[in-house]
């Protein structure tokens, strides 16, 4: 499960990088237009794709942390842009990758044998 989580997370992170470039460009246009709240758009557009890619990169060694990073990135994106066409193709794969990473963390725990 961690390998699938890593592959899906990398693909979702690359998609988020494309979205992040678009979001950063919108923030720059907001700066030129005189909008005062463009800093949040720029920050989310840069930090979230990096968090998803880092989560995908470390999910093999530390699946719990990697899954949490990918889940957090997906939740932030879904909260920021909502569930629409962009959210379906960018945030939902990151959400699936985060859930797979969390499930991989669950599989790494040793089983306790029942005493008999």
What is the CB neighbour count within 10 angstroms for residue 115? Answer: 4
User: Is 115 part of a structural domain of the chain?
Assistant: no
Read off the tokens for 39.
């800093």
**75 lies in which domain range?**
2-108
Q: Is the pLDDT of residue 114 over 80?
A: no
Considering its fold, how many domains does the chain have in total? 1
pLDDT digits (tens, 9 = 90+) for 24-42: 888 788 777 777 777 777 8
- Identify the burial level of 8 via C-beta atoms within 10 angstroms of its C-beta, where 0-12 means exposed, 13-18 middle and 19 or more buried: buried
**Token pair 């499960």 in the structure block, residue:** 1
User: Is 54 part of a structural domain of the chain?
Assistant: yes
pTM given for the model: 0.83
pLDDT digits (tens, 9 = 90+) for 46-88: 899 999 999 999 999 999 999 999 999 999 988 888 888 877 8
User: Is 53 part of a structural domain of the chain?
Assistant: yes
Whether the CB-CB separation of 19 and 49 falls below 8 Å is answered with: yes
Q: Is the pLDDT of residue 111 over 80?
A: no
């Amino acid at each position: 499960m961690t390998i699938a989580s890593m592959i899906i997370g990398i693909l979702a992170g690359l998609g988020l990088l494309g979205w992040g470039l678009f979001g950063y460009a919108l923030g720059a246009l907001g700066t030129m237009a005189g909008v005062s709240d463009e800093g949040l758009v720029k920050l989310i557009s840069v930090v979230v794709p990096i968090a998803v890619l880092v989560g995908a990169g470390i999910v093999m060694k530390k699946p719990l942390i990697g899954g949490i990073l990918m889940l957090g990135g997906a939740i932030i994106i879904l909260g920021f842009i909502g569930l629409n066409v962009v959210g379906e193709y960018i945030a939902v794969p990151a959400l699936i990758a985060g859930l797979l990473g969390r499930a991989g963390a669950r599989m790494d725990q040793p089983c306790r044998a029942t005493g008999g």
